[in-house]
Amino acid sequence: MRSDAARRRQLIIDAGCELLIKNGQHMTLESVAERAGVGIATLYRNFSTRNDLIYHCIIQITKQQMNILTTTQQEFRAEGSDPEKKLREIIPRTIPCGINVLVPALMTAPLESLDSTLIDIREEFVTKVQEMVGTLREMGLLHESVGLLDFLQGLIALYTPPQFDVGLDYDYPYDVSKAVDIFLVGCKNGPHFAYPM
Amino acid sequence: MRSDAARRRQLIIDAGCELLIKNGQHMTLESVAERAGVGIATLYRNFSTRNDLIYHCIIQITKQQMNILTTTQQEFRAEGSDPEKKLREIIPRTIPCGINVLVPALMTAPLESLDSTLIDIREEFVTKVQEMVGTLREMGLLHESVGLLDFLQGLIALYTPPQFDVGLDYDYPYDVSKAVDIFLVGCKNGPHFAYPM
């Protein structure tokens, strides 16, 4: 019984993470309950507010992304690896899969809006991202005039669906991986314009 | 009396353009009526469906953007102008101000979804954009491996607000003009990876 309750709670968090990552602010609690296969009453018994659910999702998304970043960091430094190829591989598994939530929810959020758990998680996460960024700079893939947030927020934006896409009866034919490749060239070379080193 | 009606209709279209550009699919007819300062009944008397209003907005946005592109095209070619600076000036006046609607609504829409008016407008618009892109290539600002849509859709994405931003009690501190500058370096140099010329 108790483990059934724990399992249901976990299903709700999993569904919440998935829909928060996909729909952001447009995530509804009804869609989370449906995705988790539980009734809305069960959801509310577990999470009394939308923010309470989002809180637990942020913690879970951070853990998942930390694991991916740790593994990738090792692969980056493995002998014979091609860091440019590796970077292009990791972007689709991180940027639209949780980093798009963690940057606004943790990295750029004012500290006074976070409780001590989130502040701790934030610190671990920021440290991990900084390590990754340090590696990219060493490898010559990130110009010193391109900041950590410039890099992450630009990539997040490239993965964000356009405002005007629903209501059209066709798929918007957008080659996001090519847009990312173009952006990465800019990250490597740095913007030449108004940003002297 | 008749001219009052025409004026109100124009106010509704103006408000529709503004909110379509800003909110895309999330534009509501109620918000358009409010912005235009008319009742919802007046709006429905003028436009029986949401799509009818969007149709007229697309025509107006196209005209506005054509005018901007024509002027800019001349300025680009003016003696002593700095095309790189000019490009960075024109982007904030076009990409988030209508091009973000016209690319999905006209350029990449299947022709069979457009009526003859929109097909004509589309052709004029595409021709104008191709001219602009041709100028950018001549000026060395757009690599031949970066297509017209790669260029426009990447810029549109960079201006699209992130999914996860509302519900946070602070402004997301995103430097879109720097993201654009980074992307433009990639457009100039071309992605070196899997896109041989």
The domain locations on chain A are 1-48, 61-189
Residue in chain B closest to A22 (alpha carbons) equals B163
Pick B82 or B34 by higher pLDDT. B34
Residues of B in contact with A191 (CB under 8 A): 178, 181-182, 184-185
Residue in chain A closest to B25 (alpha carbons) equals A164
Nearest Cβ partner for A193 among B109, B181, B194: B181
Structure confidence at residue B195 (pLDDT): 56
Pick B1 or B155 by higher pLDDT. B155
Structure confidence at residue A161 (pLDDT): 83
Reported ipTM = 0.91
Residues of A in contact with B185 (CB under 8 A): 185-186, 189-192
Structure confidence at residue A49 (pLDDT): 92
User: Given an 8 Å threshold on Cβ–Cβ distance, is A104 in contact with B194?
Assistant: no
Residue in chain A closest to B54 (alpha carbons) equals A167
Distance CA B137, CA B126 (A): 16
**Span B12-36, average pLDDT:** 94
Could you please report the per-residue DSSP string of B79-125? TT--HHHHHHHHHHHHGGGTHHHHIIIIISS-GGGS-HHHHHHHHHH
Residues of B in contact with A98 (CB under 8 A): none
Could you please report the per-residue DSSP string of B155-197? HHHHHSPPSS-TTSSS-----HHHHHHHHHHHHHH---SS---
Structure confidence at residue A141 (pLDDT): 95
User: Given an 8 Å threshold on Cβ–Cβ distance, is B164 in contact with A193?
Assistant: no
Does the beta carbon of A83 lie under 8 angstroms from any beta carbon of chain B? no
Distance CA A186, CA A165 (A): 27
Closest-CA distance, A1 to chain B, in angstroms, reads 35
Which residues numbered 98-137 in A keep a CB inside 8 Å of some CB on B?
100-101, 103-105, 108-110, 113
User: Given an 8 Å threshold on Cβ–Cβ distance, is B178 in contact with A113?
Assistant: no
- Within 8 A by CB and 6+ apart from A64, the residues are A17, A98
Give the pLDDT band (50/70/90) at residue B197: very low
- Picking from B48, B50, B53, the residue whose alpha carbon sits closest to that of residue B12 is B53
User: Given an 8 Å threshold on Cβ–Cβ distance, is A110 in contact with B185?
Assistant: no
Residues of A in contact with B101 (CB under 8 A): 164
**Span B16-23, average pLDDT:** 94
Backbone angles phi, psi at A191, to 5 degrees: -70, 130
Structure confidence at residue B81 (pLDDT): 82
Q: Name the one residue in this structure whose structure tokens are 């949401």.
A: B50
Does the beta carbon of B3 lie under 8 angstroms from any beta carbon of chain A? no
pLDDT tens figures, B118-136: 999 999 999 999 999 999 9
pLDDT tens figures, B148-162: 999 999 999 999 888
Does the beta carbon of B46 lie under 8 angstroms from any beta carbon of chain A? no
CATH 3.60.10.10 fits B68-189, yes or no: no
- Picking from B135, B101, A147, the residue whose alpha carbon sits closest to that of residue B109 is B101
Structure confidence at residue A177 (pLDDT): 94
Nearest Cβ partner for A179 among B25, B113, B153: B153
Residue in chain A closest to B164 (alpha carbons) equals A24
Fold classification of A1-48 is Arc Repressor Mutant, subunit A (1.10.10)
Residues of B in contact with A175 (CB under 8 A): 149-150, 153
pLDDT of chain A along its 197 residues, tens only? 578 999 999 999 999 999 999 988 789 999 999 999 999 999 999 999 999 999 999 999 999 999 999 998 888 888 788 889 999 999 999 999 999 999 999 999 888 889 999 999 999 999 999 999 999 999 999 999 999 999 999 999 999 988 876 555 567 788 999 999 999 999 999 987 655 44
**Least confident window among A34-48, B11-25, B169-183:** B169-183
Query: What 8-state DSSP symbol labels residue B146?
Result: S
Structure confidence at residue A80 (pLDDT): 82
Residues of A in contact with B146 (CB under 8 A): 182
Class of domain A61-189: mainly alpha
